[in-house]
Amino acid sequence: MSEPNSDSRIVTLGRLAETLTFAMAGGMTLGFIGVPAGWLSGSILAVAGASLAGRPMQMPVLLMRTIFVLIGISLGAVVTPETLHGMATYPLSIAVLIVAMGFVSYFGAAYLRLVHGWATPDAYLAAAPGGLSQVMALAAELGADLRAVAIVQTIRVVIVAVGLPAGLSLLGLVGPGTRGVGGPFNPALLGELVFLIMVSAAAAVVAYRIRFPGGLLFGAMVTSAVLHGSGLVHAVMPWWVANTAMIALGAVIGSRFANTPLRLLLHFIGAAFGSFAVAVAIAALFAAGLIGVLSLHAAEVTIAFAPGAVDAMMLLALALHLDPVYVGAHHLTRIFFVSLTMPLVARYAARPYAPKDDARKLPLKRPPFED
């Protein structure tokens, strides 16, 4: 009985090793040549490409959770008392973000319904600006097309994480080179570093246990931010640990394409790019108005309003010399907004498709694809 389990563990470890090899090759290549956020985007591209080529890319859940904690600690380490003074501009900026995300959801869903003929519930779920895990759980509950929603949402995350740094660099909003995350290892601060990791990890676990959105990352980040912002701790995560976490996060995102047939991806790619273009246009319009009113840093507002994965967007903020606290506050608000409103919106949109009395439920209109 032990041999099958042993063989299974060997296979799992082999897949993990292969995944991390691709991630390191891609991340280190783009990172060392100075591509904006290259450690992250290079890893995403390499692992996603290997997944689409049929390689079994895989990242264990425990490792993913560890990565989120390490990233949170690294993000919080950049906070200073001066950083906290800028929080006075947050309320208006967050209010504009909420309005923008409402428009993104509505018009993104309208595009999928009118241009691609999607059913209304599927369209709203696929157009939701974030909260992939919540959206997928709701899609399963409502009987939506899980493949369509997952592929469109995942492609959006990858486009934002890979394309946004390059776009900001081309527009001159960030420098062509980016700093590594973390700093040099100081043996004299080893005790502080151990204390930082232990306290931040404990807070992350508590936030995760109480089901706080992004609890592992945000719990660690807030704790690290408080310790550094108050001056109690000066140690930072060694650069090689932090950059390795970035590469591993890229592997997590890229591995979402595992077991996805290329023809299935190509079928939905038009819908994914179209809905993404709608979302970006609307978010950019609101961001531009906010920048004009508050004179905020254009790159910071762009990252804060981008409908990408929270962890990836916050890492981009750090890698591009931006304020991860400002960015994190906005993305946390976005996730709360999506988590609270999407169940109501999706269920309301699904009502016309629900069975009436004893009549049998009619099938939803789906994108014309069958395996």
Least confident of 8-17, 138-147, 212-221: 138-147
Query: 3-class SS at 238?
Result: strand
pLDDT the model gives residue 134: 61
Amino acid (1-letter code) at residue 22: F
Structure tokens at 227: 């310790």
pLDDT digits (tens, 9 = 90+) for 19-40: 999 999 998 988 787 666 678 7
DSSP letter for each residue of 305-329: H--S-HHHHHHHHHHTT--HHHHHH
Under the banding of pLDDT at 50, 70 and 90, the label for residue 205 is very high
Q: What are phi and psi of 37, to 5 degrees?
A: 55, 35
pLDDT the model gives residue 206: 94
pLDDT digits (tens, 9 = 90+) for 70-128: 888 887 776 766 655 655 567 888 899 999 999 999 999 999 999 988 988 888 888 88
Residue 253's closest CA among 127, 129, 159, 146? 159
Q: What are phi and psi of 172, to 5 degrees?
A: 80, 15
Whether the per-residue pLDDT at 203 is higher than 90: the answer is yes
- CA–CA separation, 362 and 16 (whole Å): 43
Instruction: Please give the helix or strand (H or E) that residue 235 lies within, else none.
Output: none
Whether the per-residue pLDDT at 312 is higher than 80: the answer is no
Q: What number is the average pLDDT over the span 303-316?
A: 76
Whether the per-residue pLDDT at 286 is higher than 80: the answer is yes
* DSSP count for the chain of H helices, then E strands: 15, 0
Q: What number is the average pLDDT over the span 59-80?
A: 82
Least confident of 94-103, 184-193, 318-327, 338-347: 338-347
Ordered by where they begin, the domains of the chain are 2-353 (1.20.1530)
Whether the per-residue pLDDT at 195 is higher than 90: the answer is yes
Under the banding of pLDDT at 50, 70 and 90, the label for residue 174 is low
Query: Exposure string (b/e) for 293-320, b if CB count within 10 Å is 16 or more?
Result: eeebbbbbbbbbbbbbbbbbbbbbbbbb
- CA–CA separation, 194 and 199 (whole Å): 9
Q: Tell me the HSE value of 119 on the side-chain side, using a 13 A CA sphere.
A: 27
Residues 6+ apart with CB under 8 A from 141: none
- CA–CA separation, 16 and 56 (whole Å): 9
Whether the per-residue pLDDT at 309 is higher than 60: the answer is yes
- Whether the pTM exceeds 0.75: the reply is no
Whether the per-residue pLDDT at 42 is higher than 60: the answer is yes
Structure tokens at 94: 């967050």
Residues 6+ apart with CB under 8 A from 236: 74, 77, 182, 183, 193
Q: What number is the average pLDDT over the span 125-142?
A: 72
pLDDT digits (tens, 9 = 90+) for 156-165: 877 877 777 7
Whether the per-residue pLDDT at 220 is higher than 60: the answer is yes
Q: What number is the average pLDDT over the span 229-248?
A: 83
Whole-number mean pLDDT of the chain?
78
